[in-house]
């Protein structure tokens, strides 16, 4: 399809996201859509620069300038524009909670303050998956128990629960499938099996620390069905489209394939190569889901150390720490082991404590990062201020472990660092930019695990 033959200047100026390009030119290859979106976003920024006399921030560091260019492209995919800060930013958000550098040397067994002490913790961990199940059953939240049941008893993508960004576990990003005939406004009936793309979601209030609840959704079912707004109940009735990488060959299953089960993850080549136990496979899966909330929350509570309060999921945290470290074995054998890779962590509604820029700090909880800059931006939107940590890793030794093989949301390209990872800023000052009206402190850091 020749895009140029259909270009309308009035419409072209609005094509700042891949979704908008797809709507205007549905037959164009996706990589071309991304190129058009990023170029239009840059063009809009240039127009704004002329009008306001501002410019995209520049630095004396070539790599930082390259990152800002990448930020502009990633923001363009989300319909956002990157601008230079006016230098008069007033921060009103909470400070990002980080521990003192010395905490990184204490070790997670000390930090979780297990009742009975470290020796008892080591002994208890030997009970394997049964101990984890017992701990979650007695001390975990209802969400933890729901996820435990999904991980251990369900096939990948089986449940219809919608999580962050409206995503379904182990399903294709932003895709849904009609599980039973769906009657839409105007009497239109969408048959079972029809797939649709989620275009927009409206959140039903802030329910943190519970998962987000969605009031309604705008879905494109394609063909003669078109786009429709669905009610909360209608959206919840939709199933997901299982990711191909979450299916496994099975001669007894229809079509010769079926969704993966817990045992299949335990038999995965990465799990085998790293000698992961069932308990370790379980906690890694749990952490990629909403289970991270009850793991991270207590670890970032200052009273945990000050008052020697035991983490309610101490065994789960300890096993997760071991699993992360063991997963580094497969990273060492990867073809990309010594290939530099930039990772990002976006934290919304937060600002960095100025002390961090001089002495660094310790991330008290497991630290999720992503190789997809757009994902980091997506997670950190909201509020007036956000922090974007930039980890320019050189090899597998300073890189978190790749959880793509086991994650419930593999499109996030999550690289996970173990708890008590020490971070030190590379520069004395953050690079401050405006992205979609939010002030970001972009901070390059070096890490030590």
Q: What is the mean pLDDT of the chain?
A: 86
Alpha helices in 335-444, H assignment, sequence order? 356-359, 373-379
CA distances from 130 to 31, 277, 316 (A): 47, 12, 11
For 109, phi then psi, to 5°, come to: -60, -35
Mean pLDDT across the stretch 338-349?
A: 91
Question: Which positions ≥6 away from 42 have C-beta within 8 Å?
Answer: 72, 73, 76
Segment 7-66, tens digit of pLDDT: 455 456 666 555 667 777 777 776 566 667 656 655 554 444 333 334 445 555 677 777
DSSP annotation string for 23-80? HH-TTS-HHHHHHHHHHHHHHHHHHHHHHHS------S-HHHHHHHHHHHHHHHHTT-
**Which of these, 196, 192, 161, lies nearest to 176 by C-alpha position?**
196
Q: What is the pLDDT of residue 251?
A: 95
CA distances from 376 to 88, 125, 207, 380, 389 (A): 25, 33, 21, 6, 9
Segment 369-424, tens digit of pLDDT: 999 999 999 888 877 899 999 999 999 999 999 999 999 999 999 999 999 999 99
**Which of these, 167, 233, 181, 178, lies nearest to 375 by C-alpha position?**
167
Token representation of residue 383 = 């509020």
User: Taking the domains of the chain in order of start, what are their residue ranges?
Assistant: 4-84, 101-147+261-448, 164-258
Torsion of CA 264, 266, 365, 327, to 10 degrees: -120
**How many Å apart are CA 205 and CA 185, to the nearest integer?**
25
Quick count: other Cβ atoms within 10 Å of Cβ 166?
A: 18
CB-count burial class (<10 Å; 0-12, 13-18, 19+) for 130? exposed
Segment 226-256, tens digit of pLDDT: 999 999 999 999 999 999 999 999 999 999 9
To 5 degrees, how large is the angle CA 299–CA 361–CA 290? 35
**How many Å apart are CA 387 and CA 369, to the nearest integer?**
13
Q: Hey, is 413 helix, strand or coil?
A: coil
Segment 34-46, tens digit of pLDDT: 667 656 655 554 4
According to DSSP, the residues that pair with 345 across neighbouring strands are 389
Contact 431, 57 (CB under 8 A): yes
Mutual angle of helices 292-299 and 278-288, in 10-degree steps: 90
Q: Is the pLDDT of residue 330 over 70?
A: yes
Select the more confidently predicted residue: 206 or 72.
Answer: 72
Token representation of residue 430 = 């953050």
Q: Hey, is 89 helix, strand or coil?
A: coil
DSSP annotation string for 376-392? HHHHT-SSSEEEEEEEE
Q: Does domain 101-147+261-448 have CATH number 3.30.1490.100?
A: no
Contact 37, 14 (CB under 8 A): no
**How many Å apart are CA 436 and CA 78, to the nearest integer?**
9
Mean pLDDT across the stretch 277-301?
A: 96
To 5 degrees, how large is the angle CA 29–CA 35–CA 36? 90
**How many Å apart are CA 282 and CA 49, to the nearest integer?**
50
The phi-psi region of residue 382 (left if phi > 0; otherwise alpha if psi is between -120 and 50; otherwise beta) is left
Task: State what percent of residues in the chain have pLDDT above 90.
Answer: 58
Q: Hey, is 362 helix, strand or coil?
A: strand
**Which of these, 440, 442, 444, lies nearest to 91 by C-alpha position?**
440
The secondary structure of residue 212, as a DSSP letter, is: P
Token representation of residue 427 = 């520069």
Token representation of residue 328 = 């580094």
Which segment of 113-122, 124-133, 137-146 scores lowest on mean pLDDT? 113-122
The residue with tokens 């230079």 is 84
Report the first-to-last Cα separation within the chain, whole angstroms: 50
Contact 283, 320 (CB under 8 A): yes
Band of residue 82 on the pLDDT scale cut at 50, 70, 90: confident
């Amino acid at each position: 399809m020749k895009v140029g033959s259909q270009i309308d200047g009035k419409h072209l100026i609005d094509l700042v996201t891949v979704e908008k390009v797809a709507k205007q030119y549905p037959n164009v290859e996706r990589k071309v859509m991304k190129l058009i979106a990023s170029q239009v976003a840059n063009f809009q920024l240039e127009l704004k620069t002329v009008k306001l006399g501002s410019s995209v921030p520049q630095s004396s560091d070539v790599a930082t300038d390259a990152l800002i260019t990448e930020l502009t492209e990633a923001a363009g995919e989300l319909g956002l524009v990157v601008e230079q800060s006016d230098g008069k930013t007033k921060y009103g958000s909470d400070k990002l909670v980080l521990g003192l550098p010395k905490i990184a040397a204490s070790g997670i067994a000390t930090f979780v303050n297990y009742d009975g002490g470290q020796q008892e913790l080591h002994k208890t961990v030997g009970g394997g998956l049964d101990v984890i199940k017992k701990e979650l059953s007695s001390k975990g939240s209802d969400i933890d128990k729901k996820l435990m049941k999904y991980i251990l008893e369900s096939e990948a993508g089986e449940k219809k629960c919608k999580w962050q960004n409206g995503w379904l576990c182990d399903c294709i990003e932003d895709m849904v499938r009609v599980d039973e005939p769906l009657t839409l406004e105007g009497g239109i009936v969408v048959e079972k099996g029809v797939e649709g793309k989620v275009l927009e979601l409206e959140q039903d209030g802030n329910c943190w620390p519970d998962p987000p609840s969605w009031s309604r959704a705008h879905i494109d079912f394609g063909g003669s069905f078109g786009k429709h707004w669905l009610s909360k109940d209608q959206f919840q009735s939709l199933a997901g489209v299982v990711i191909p990488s979450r299916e496994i060959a099975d001669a007894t299953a229809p079509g010769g394939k079926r969704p993966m089960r817990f045992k299949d993850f335990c038999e995965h080549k990465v799990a085998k190569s790293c000698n992961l136990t069932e308990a370790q496979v379980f906690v890694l899966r749990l952490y990629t889901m909403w289970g991270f909330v009850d793991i991270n929350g207590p670890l970032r509570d200052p009273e945990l150390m000050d008052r020697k309060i035991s983490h309610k999921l101490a065994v789960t945290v300890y096993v997760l720490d071991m699993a992360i470290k063991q997963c580094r074995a497969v990273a060492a054998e990867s073809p990309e082991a010594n290939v530099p890779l930039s990772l990002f962590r976006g934290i919304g509604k937060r600002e960095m404590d100025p002390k961090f820029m001089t002495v660094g700090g310790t991330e008290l909880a497991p630290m999720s990062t992503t190789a997809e800059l757009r994902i980091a931006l997506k997670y950190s939107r909201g509020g007036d201020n956000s922090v974007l940590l930039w980890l320019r890793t050189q090899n597998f030794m300073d890189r978190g472990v790749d959880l793509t093989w086991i994650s419930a949301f593999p499109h996030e390209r999550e690289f996970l660092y173990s708890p008590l990872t020490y971070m030190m800023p590379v520069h004395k000052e953050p690079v401050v930019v405006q992205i979609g009206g939010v002030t970001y402190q972009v901070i390059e850091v070096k890490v030590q695990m």
